[in-house]
């Protein structure tokens, strides 16, 4: 899977444990682009950090 990064991660949701779900680019899934998601601590996100923890939304076959 090849990953492409945007210039800025977009915040999608705040989790119950204080992290932010962001879309941080897109990946190629079965030859089509699909959003790539990650989690990051709220304080780190607000300070501009890009220390994301990737979230795998599907498994490769």
> Sign (positive/negative) of CA torsion 50, 51, 57, 61?
positive
Q: Residue 2: helix, strand or coil by DSSP?
A: coil
- Residue 7 has a pLDDT of 46
pLDDT tens digit string along 1-60?
Answer: 445 444 456 778 899 999 998 887 766 677 777 778 889 999 998 898 888 888 877 666
Structure tokens at 15: 């989790």
Task: Compute φ and ψ for 2, nearest 5 degrees.
Answer: -95, 135
- Residue 34 has a pLDDT of 73
Report d(CA 40, CA 15) in Å as an integer. Answer: 10
Indicate whether this model's pTM tops 0.85: no
- Residue 43 has a pLDDT of 92
- Residue 17 has a pLDDT of 93
């Amino acid at each position: 899977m090849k990953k492409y990064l945007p210039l800025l991660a977009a915040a999608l949701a705040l989790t119950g444990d204080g992290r932010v779900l962001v879309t941080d680019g897109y990946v190629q899934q079965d030859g089509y682009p699909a959003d790539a998601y990650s989690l990051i601590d709220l304080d780190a996100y607000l300070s501009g950090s890009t220390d994301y923890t990737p979230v795998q939304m599907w498994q490769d076959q």
